[in-house]
Amino acid sequence: MIQYTLKCSNDHRFDSWFQSAEGFDKLKAAGMVTCAICGDTQVEKAIMAPRVRPARSAATPVKEAETPLSSPANPAEQALAELKKQVEKNSDYVGANFAQEARSMHMGDTPERAIYGEAKPEEAKSLIEDGVPVVPLPFTPGRKSN
């Protein structure tokens, strides 16, 4: 396993673990490496300090600090990350079927529940015009990579 400090095109910095350097390259090429804060797919490795361990014969073992997989830099990014976590925890992800699912619930064809997903701008506009209560999310939904 290898830990990289990453940076997106919006200058958000976060840490993430990968199976290997090649694993990072493969996931990045497939578009599966996204910013933990905003979901941006333009992610690059940031400059980071090397982690040097003492020799095995050192008298006192050094305990590594527990580093979270991602750590937002400022309070606004932390709040956005928390909002994303709550939405993903308490809602069903319906992907590209969002407009169809939202309309179906609004018409009473399916039971109401909290959902999130993706909609094209014209689909979102049509939902709003038809009185379907929707709101854009300030982040890109996470994709399952495993």
Could you report the per-residue pLDDT of 105-116, keeping only the tens digit for each?
999 999 999 999
- What pLDDT was estimated at residue 97? 92
- What pLDDT was estimated at residue 126? 92
Domain that includes residue 45, residue range: 1-49
In a domain, residue 107? The reply is: yes
d(CA 58, CA 52): 13
In a domain, residue 145? The reply is: no
Contact partners, residue 40, CB within 8 Å, separation at least 6 = 8, 9, 10, 12, 34, 140
d(CA 18, CA 25): 10
- What pLDDT was estimated at residue 1? 78
- Listing DSSP states for 76-122 in one string gives HHHHHHHHHHHHHHHSEEEETTHHHHHHHHHTTSS----EEE---HH
d(CA 135, CA 116): 10
d(CA 133, CA 58): 62
In a domain, residue 76? The reply is: no
In a domain, residue 44? The reply is: yes
Q: Which two tokens stand for residue 97?
A: 């079927």
d(CA 87, CA 72): 17
Tell me what the mean pLDDT of segment 20-49 comes to. Answer: 85
d(CA 18, CA 5): 11
Residue 146 has pLDDT above 50, yes or no: no
- Domain count for the chain: 2
d(CA 135, CA 22): 39
In a domain, residue 78? The reply is: no
Task: Give me the residues paired with residue 8 across strands.
Answer: 43
In a domain, residue 68? The reply is: no
In a domain, residue 12? The reply is: yes
